[in-house]
Amino acid sequence: MEVVKTAIEGVVIIEPRVFKDARGYFFESFSQREFEEKVCKTQFVQDNESKSNYGVLRGLHFQKPPFAQSKLVRVVQGAVLDVAVDIRKGSPTFGQHVAVELTEENHRQFFIPRGFAHGFVVLTDEVVFQYKCDNFYAPQCEGSLAWDDADLGIDWIVPADKILLSEKDKLNVPLKDAEWLFDYSENLYK
């Protein structure tokens, strides 16, 4: 696997080696050993999968300690724009984001470390989206930010009138109004 650094330290794109022939393709989607050597030491404990239609936007979500999560995400079918936002107070990249298109054709994966909010929007008629998490889901530790926060400046590609949100995500607040954020000086992987 090739690890591509982004403008924000720790947020990386993973491009697997894909072997194609007349039968189709094969690739190793995850290796704990290689991930720890090239990205970071963490142990994934939960795999999730969602299916969504065009315009569905899930996010921007995070979990607070002690259930903060890193995520390794990928698309099995379709395409999404995937976004990670730095919400670590004191970080030199606080409030900045990285956006990457993940598709069934490019097989890219996106690693979002602890201390970041995460979201994606569906760019195709339908998408099957998978993510590995290094901590268990804990509803009491949920946090979220508004997808359309002007201060974040995220271009979601999909027109705003085509965005479909859950009722809960319609209530998300801008970063400046968030009641709880991560502390950049804190080690989130202890």
pLDDT (average), residues 94-102: 98
Does 1.10.10.10 match the CATH number of domain 44-182?
A: no
Stretch 166-184: mean pLDDT, rounded?
94
Catalytic annotation, residues:
61, 131
Average pLDDT over residues 25-44: 90
CA count, 13 A, side-chain hemisphere, 16: 25
Please, what is the Cα angle at 58 between 105 and 120, to 5 degrees? 35
Q: What average pLDDT does range 106-111 have in this prediction?
A: 96
pTM across the whole model = 0.94
Per-residue burial over 96-106, b = 16 or more CB atoms within 10 Å of its CB, e = otherwise: ebbbbebbeeb
**Residue type at position 176:** K
Three-state secondary-structure class, residue 104:
coil
pLDDT of 20 above 90: no
**What CA–CA distance (Å, rounded) separates 61 from 119?**
6
Mean pLDDT of 74-102: 98
8-state DSSP, 38: H
Residue 34, pLDDT > 80, answer yes
Asked if 41 contacts 187 with a C-beta cutoff of 8 angstroms, the reply is: no
Own/partner long-range contacts of 90-95 (Cβ < 8 Å, ≥24 apart): 90/183, 90/184, 90/185, 91/115, 91/184, 93/7, 93/8, 93/9, 94/184, 95/151, 95/152, 95/175
Q: What is the rounded distance in angstroms from the CA atom of residue 129 to the CA atom of residue 76?
A: 6
CA dihedral 94, 141, 139, 35 (to 10 degrees): 60
Q: Model confidence at 33, in pLDDT bands (50, 70, 90)?
A: very high
Distance CA 119, CA 101 (A): 12
User: How large is the average pLDDT for residues 126-150?
Assistant: 96
Structure tokens given for 23: 């039968």
